[in-house]
Amino acid sequence: MQPLKAIKKRARLVQQKLDQRLNLRGEFVSRATRPGDIFLVSYPKSGNTWVRFLLANLLWQDQLTVDFRSINALVPPVTVLHRHGQLPPPRLVKSHAPFQPTYPRTIYLLRDGRDTMVSYYHYELKRGTLPPETTLADYLRRTDHWPCPWATHVASWLDAGLPAGRLLLLRYETMKQDPAGVLQQMLDFIGLTATPAQIAQAVDNASFDAMRRLEAQSGGPRSMAHSGFIRRGQAGGWRDELGTAERDILKPQMNDMLIRLGYASDGAW
C-alpha cells in the first residue's frame, strides 16, 4: 500500500498536468474560432457582462428578449463556442483570458483593479465558493485568483503589441460616464452601424437597474442568477471598503499598474 505522502504527491503532479493541458488547449482557446470573431475580454468583475448585454441588445433588440437566460447563447463564452456555429458573423465571444494570440480581434475592458478585486470578493462570497468567514483581507492575500493576478492579466494585453485593428482598449469608468459613446466605439471597431435611437435603446435595456430587474425576473445560469451577479457597479467604490490593512495588501500587487493606467499617481491611496 502506497504511503499517503506519495499518493498526495502523485495527485499534485496529475493536477499540474491537467492544469497545463487546460491552459494550453481547453479553457481559453477554441478550435471553433473563426477569422471574423470578436472576443470580449476582461478580468472577472470588470464589466464583461455589461458589454455583452449592450451589444446583444443592439444586435437582437427587434428579434428577442436579451436576459440572463439568453445571453450565453447570443454572446457565448469561449468554452462553449463550438456549440454556437449557427450564430451569424460577426460572432461575439466572451472570455476572461490573459493574452491569446489566436483571438482574431479583441475588445479588452479595463477596470480599476481595486474595484475589481472588491467586486470579485463579494461575488465569490455570494456564490459560496469561499468559506463564509473569509474576510476581504483574507481574500486579497490569496495568490490563486482565477485566471491570474489582475496586474498580470492587464499587462498581458497591454504589452502584446497588437495593432489598432486587432485590439480596442476600453475603460469601465468611461462606460459609466458615457455608455452610448463607448457602444459607438465598439460598433466602429466591429464594423457595424446603428442609429442614435437604436444605441439609446440598447443603453437603456442594459442599464444597471434594468439588469438588476432581469436578474430577479428571468433568473438564468446558476453562476449568474443565483449569486447576486449584478451588485453595485460603482466606480471608485473601493474607497468605502478597503481599509489600511487591505490597501497595504494590494499595493505590492498592483500599484505599478494602477499608476501606469492613471488610476493612481503614487502609492498614497
- 139-160: pLDDT as tens digits: 999 999 999 999 999 999 999 9
Q: With beta carbons less than 8 A apart as the criterion, state whether 181 and 173 touch.
A: no
Cβ atoms within 10 Å, residue 252: 9
pLDDT on residue 230: 55
φ and ψ at residue 7, rounded to 5 degrees: -65, -45
Residue 34 lies in a domain: yes
Q: With beta carbons less than 8 A apart as the criterion, state whether 201 and 57 touch.
A: yes
Residue 13 lies in a domain: no
Single pTM value for the model: 0.86
pLDDT at 223 over 70: no
Q: What is the CATH number of the domain that holds 65?
A: 3.40.50.300
Helix ranges (DSSP H) in 31-79: 48-60, 71-74
What's the structural domain count of the chain? 1
11-20, 112-121, 206-215: lowest mean pLDDT where?
11-20
Residue 135 lies in a domain: no
C-alpha cell of residue 219: 433568473
pLDDT at 1 over 60: no
Rounded to the nearest 10 degrees, what angle do helices 179-190 and 48-60 cross at?
Answer: 70
Q: Which residue from 26, 14, 201 is spatially nearest to 97, judged by alpha carbons?
A: 26
Domain range for 219 is 29-112+143-232
Mean pLDDT of 28-50: 94
pLDDT at 20 over 70: no
pLDDT on residue 226: 44
pLDDT on residue 232: 60
> Tell me, what amino acid is at 145?
H
Confidence of residue 119 (pLDDT cuts 50, 70, 90): very high
pLDDT on residue 24: 42
Cis peptide before 77 (omega within 30 of 0): no
- 154-202: pLDDT as tens digits: 999 999 999 999 999 999 999 999 999 999 999 999 999 999 999 999 9
Residue 39 lies in a domain: yes
Residue 8 lies in a domain: no
pLDDT at 204 over 50: yes
Residue 253 lies in a domain: no
Which is it for the CA torsion 50, 52, 57, 63, positive or negative? negative
* Beta-bridge partner residues of 192: none
CB neighbour list of residue 236: distance below 8 Å, 6 or more residues apart = 112, 115
Q: Which residue from 255, 199, 47 is spatially nearest to 269, judged by alpha carbons?
A: 255
Q: Which residue from 135, 133, 56 is spatially nearest to 90, judged by alpha carbons?
A: 56
Q: With beta carbons less than 8 A apart as the criterion, state whether 76 and 93 touch.
A: yes
Residue 266 lies in a domain: no
Residue 9 lies in a domain: no
